[in-house]
Amino acid sequence: TSVHWHGLRIPNAMDGVPELTQPHIEPGQTFDYRFKAPDAGTFWYHS
């Protein structure tokens, strides 16, 4: 499971696309998303 963001200008490593921008997060593992949201507004995300 990962979180993928739409419309946010964030570092690619935080974009949450398994095997494209970050490795899979396996059951029992964790991943900390760390970024500053550069834009105000309403955005969409999903896992």
Question: Rounded CA gap, 23 and 43, in Å?
Answer: 23
Smallest Cα–Cα separation from 17: which of 1, 32, 30? 1
Strands (E), 1-47: 4-6, 44-46
**23: which residues sit within 8 A by CB, 6+ positions away?**
none
pLDDT band at 1 (very low <50, low <70, confident <90, very high): confident
User: Which domains can be identified in the chain, with CATH numbers?
Assistant: 1-46 (2.60.40.420)
Q: Kindly report, residue by residue over 8-47, the tens digit of the pLDDT.
A: 999 999 999 988 998 888 999 999 999 998 899 999 999 8
pTM reported for the whole predicted model = 0.72
